Structure 1
Amino acid sequence: MSVPFLYRAWVGASMLLVPFAAMIETRKLRDAGFSAMRAHEKIGHATEPREDGGPLIWFHAASVGESLSVLALITRMGLKLPKAQFLITSGTATSAKLLSERMPPRTVHQFAPFDSPGPLKRFLKHWRPNAAIFVESELWPQMLRRTHDSDAKLALVNARLSERSMAGWRKRPRLARYLLDSFSLILTQNDTMAEAMVAMHAPAARVARGINLKSMAGPLPLDDDALFEARAALGHRPVWIASSTHAGEEEAVLAAHKELLKTHPDLCLILAPRHPERGRDVMNLIAGAGLSFTRRTRGDMPGAQVFLADTMGELGLWYALGDIVFLGGSLRPIGGHNPFEVAQSGATVLSGTHVTNFAETYAAMEAAGAARLVADGADLAARVGHLLDDDTARAKACTAAQAFVAGQTDMLDSIAERLINALELAP
């Protein structure tokens, strides 16, 4: 297959851009507490050895959700391939920190190299992957083609592209065909995406529906000592959680909480914004609503009408404190967030109606009684109030959420087996 002009153009442009990107990324990682040596992983300098004796399987994911979504798959493949080593790469400091707490056996993490000749040559020369598995929408042109040309087998799992991305690829059919031909197997999240990938010139025989791997990520980690302290601080107070909220959503959540306080005066809201750096803005919203609050970044525990959980990596702790969770990114047209983490914690899921990123998941969860979509803040208040008042309904919804997640895990073995066969990794 001939090399498209757009690919050649990107190769040249990337060589010019790397010095500037490296400077910016190094500063960001240093600010996040990583050493300069680790920052240099971005330009292909490995900081871990490649173990010999078995195949090396490389997983590449963009950020936190995508990275965590493949951990259970790595674990399952590791059981089937006891001599295999695993490498997982991601692009953000947050994903690196969270992965370090949950790394499967025989797995190391590195920051992903830039999509440019020098970094990728160094990276591939050191790691020599036998297979590479890319997650969701990670279609970096040189990363795909250079890995393919190194004789590694490639797969794309959990494939999901936005309509905007797909429209862009459809305008570049030669480039799309050139890149998608790199994959031996493409597993999509749903049938609609499978059809879209074929329409983008992916080889139809290599495209199939898989499962949403975010349902397989496993429960979020939590600190038992902090959980004990938080429960002691709450006592017997009822709790509900609003997590992953975005700008423009906290107002509706706080209005719902004020309404709920009229009938549940000791109710505590744990409010965890999607981006903790917005903590001060959210704090001002809470104060402006006339509600008392404590704040995690001050070292506080729940103890007022609202607890502002403005830290990273502690959602598992907050989910363990209550069994009613509203997921943000859904009252506004953002696309929604991962409901599986909530269900795995044993809680029932509430969400706004803007859930395009997880449309099929929410439809199935609603049908199973594991989730409920709400129209606005008033609807949210009514639904939370109903669950607080009806112990039987709340217990039934939580049980349904756990059963829904348990039903998904049965499919993971078949996905692992399919990847092993397609990537020619069978012992």
Structure 2
Amino acid sequence: MSERWARIVLSTYRWVGAMVFPAVGAYVAFRASKGKEERGRQGERYGVASVARPAGPLVWVHAASVGETSAVTPLVETIVDMGINVVLTTGTVTSAKMVQERLGDRVIHQYVPLDLKPAVDRFLSHWQPDLAVICESEIWPMTILELGLRRVPQVLVNGRLSDKSFAAWQKRPSIAEALFENLAHVVAQSDIDGERFRALGARPVTVSGNLKVDTAIPPVVESELEALQRQIGKRKTWAAISTHQGEEDVVAQVHHMLKVRHRDLLTIIVPRHPDRAPAIAEDIEKLGMKVALRSRGDVIAPDTDIYLGDTIGEMGLYLRLTEIAFVGRSLMAQGGQNPLEPAMLKTAILSGRNVQNFRDSYQRLIKNGAAKLIRDKDMLAGAVNYLFNNPAERQVMIDAGTKTVEDMRGSLDLTMTALEPFIQPLVLKARLNAREGGWK
């Protein structure tokens, strides 16, 4: 595809988006009816701001969902500590709750506008960002093009391109180059990601490692933890976290297999999408197992088989209840989920083999002996049983995970170094404005 043709395609995308804009109200309303949009704030999806723009320099940071929000939080805190305003956008209700819990009123939270010209125009006209920082793999053509037209520097941080995304962009190299040339800098997670961004035309590209390693250890409310620990007592536990459809059934079957040898077993399941919890509980109960739901405040009774962690922002609680964690989206689904939180919280890590989206992290953990890959439910049951029966080996894996995380730290500093040419002028501007008593 030629450069001229790529620009025609992107121009068509721009104006088609403008034409369909009036019809998207029904789509947003439907999402709101399903709890996927926050009622009363749907206007933000059309670029309508819910608060005034503060005076002084402002950085727009975008993080799509919970994982990206967690990763970018220390970066946002660092920018705010430098005296610069931040408007942080996310795309999900759960990530919005996380922003409120972790950052409060230190930042302005807005839902990201739809990638349609009228919404993006309205958003940018109101906020007038001096810099846009995008986290991970959020490549929105209209947003990138409109920022480019306004000459707003755009930096992609913690950049990642999955095998699937890279293959798709390779089929459209001219479009990729027309978009990526608007990026002032790409800070990639790994050498492989860096090579992929360069191949698609991004310049300059540096590698920082994974920002998620530099996040704080997931918090916990100590009173809640102690209450659950009392309910569990001395029972053996293992957790299956970030599970996707089909994996909960596998985990339940593994529980049944293990209970023959470990009569006091408690299995903790934390689905990636908590709204699926009622259906998950119903399916497991049909197998004759007793399920307790965290969201209902159910007590973990002596005969509870499965504790269903169907709440947001409590991974720090669930992982502190065990020393063995299976990380989902790796058996029945593709790509895997982040294994770094389990490593931070001192668990031996098990996973299926489909972990392409977190390849670098898994390679490091496996090399150091902190994680093991399994291929099916029988192998999963065998691995959990082995770790129950061999506490010394379990501790070796836990210690290896802790060391791996420590060795991987430093991404935040490297990312801030890449951002320095864009941030420092804003720091000086903020100081001058503070002395002069206004925004210029």
Normalising by structure 1, we get a TM-score of 0.91
Instruction: Note the C-alpha offset of 1:281.
Output: 3.0
- The residue identity in structure 2 corresponding to 1:244 is S
Quote the residue 1:52 is aligned against. Answer: 55
- Quote the residue 2:284 is aligned against: 286
Unaligned runs of 5+ in 1: none
1:151-190 pair list within 5 angstroms? 151-190=151-190
Code of the aligned partner of 2:260: K
What is the aligned counterpart of 2:69 among 50, 59, 67? 67
Letter in 2 for 1:40: G
Query: What do you get for the CA RMSD once the two structures are aligned?
Result: 2.3
Aligned mates of 1:365, 1:335 — CA distance in 2? 16
Report the CA distance between 1:300 and its aligned residue: 0.6
Identity over the aligned pairs, expressed in percent?
33
2:192 corresponds in structure 1 to 192
1:40 is aligned to 2:36: no
1:55-96 deviations in Å (ceiling 9; x for gaps): 2111112222122211122223444xx211112111111211
Residue of structure 2 in register with 1:358 after alignment = 358
Query: 2:299 aligns to what SS in structure 1?
Result: coil
CA distance in 2, matches of 1:387, 1:407: 25
Query: In the alignment, is the contact (CA less than 8 A) between 1:22 and 1:43 conserved in 2?
Result: no
Residues 255 and 267 in structure 2, CA contact (< 8 A), matched pair in contact too? yes
- Give the 3 Å change call, closer, same or farther, for CA 423–96 of structure 1 in structure 2: same
What displacement does 1:35 show? 6.0
Distance in 2, Cα, partners of 1:66 & 1:141: 19
Q: Give the structure 2 partner of residue 213 of structure 1.
A: 211
How big is each residue's C-alpha offset from its partner over 1:128-162, in whole Å with a ceiling of 9 and x where there is no partner? Answer: 11111112221111211212232321111222233
**Structure 1 CA distance, aligned partners of 2:334 and 2:171?**
25
- Which residue of the other structure, out of 9, 12, 15, is the alignment partner of 2:12? 9
Which residue of structure 2 lines up, in the alignment, with residue 265 of structure 1? Answer: 263
How far apart, CA to CA, are the structure 1 residues paired with 2:202 and 2:187? 11
Tell me, in whole angstroms, the C-alpha distance in 2 between the residues paired with 1:315 and 1:157.
24
Aligned to 1:310: 310
SS of alignment partner, residue 216 of structure 2: coil
Q: State the partner residue of 2:244.
A: 246
1:129 paired to 2:129: yes
User: Greater shift after overlay, 262-271 or 386-395?
Assistant: 386-395
CA distance in 2, matches of 1:162, 1:22: 31
Question: Structure 2 length normalisation: TM-score?
Answer: 0.89
Residue by residue, what CA displacement relative to the aligned partner does 1:169-199 show, whole Å, maximum 9, x if unpaired?
3333332222111111112222222222222
- Report the residue type matching 1:171 in the other structure: K
- How far 1:305 sits from its partner (Å)? 1.7
Distance 1:94 1:21 in 2: 22
Specify the SS of the correspondent of 1:101.
helix
Once the two structures are superposed, residues 364-407 of structure 1 have per-residue CA deviations (whole angstroms, 9 ceiling, x without a partner) of 01112222212221221222122222222222322222222222
CA contact (8 A) 1:37 1:47 kept: no
1:409, distance to aligned residue in structure 2 (A): 2.5
Contact 1:294-1:306 at 8 Å conserved across structures: yes
1:416 aligned to 2:416? yes
Is the Cα–Cα contact under 8 Å of residues 185 and 422 in structure 1 kept in the other structure?
no
Q: Distance in 1 between matches of 2:237 and 2:49?
A: 46
Secondary structure at the aligned position of 2:88 is classed as: strand
Counterpart CA distance in 2 for 1:131 and 1:351 is 38
Residue 280 of structure 2 corresponds to residue 277 of structure 1: no
CA distance in 1, matches of 2:219, 2:21: 36
Count of residue pairs the alignment pairs up: 422
Is the 8 Å Cα contact of residues 131 and 422 (structure 2) preserved in structure 1?
A: no
Aligned to 2:111: 111
Alpha carbons of structure 1 residues 34 and 221: separation in structure 2 relative to 1, 3 Å: farther
Q: Supply the distance in 2 between the matched residues of 1:34 and 1:276 (Cα, whole angstroms).
A: 15
